[in-house]
Amino acid sequence: MYSDWAGLSRDLVDLILARLVSVSDYLRFGAVCKTWHSVAMDRINNFCLHNFQCSFSLPMSSNASCP
């Protein structure tokens, strides 16, 4: 079965992001593909600022790609 995760509408991706509650959720979300990784990295900084101080750095690039 082939799934084009990068092809999901921005509205649907935003709905998924709204349900993330932890840094590990963002990391898992970003592991899906390059597109989702980029979105997760854009959002995780804002998440950390509003929830707690992140005491680690996250990679800004990924070798993962969507099928």
- From first to last of its 67 residues, what are the pLDDT tens digits of the chain? 556 888 888 889 889 988 988 888 888 988 988 888 888 888 877 777 766 655 555 555 555 455 4
pLDDT of residue 18: 87
Query: What is the full DSSP assignment across the chain?
Result: ----GGGS-HHHHHHHHHT--SHHHHHHHHTS-HHHHHHHHHHHHHHHHHH----S---S-------
Does the reported pTM lie above 0.85?
no
> What's the longest Cα–Cα distance across the chain?
40
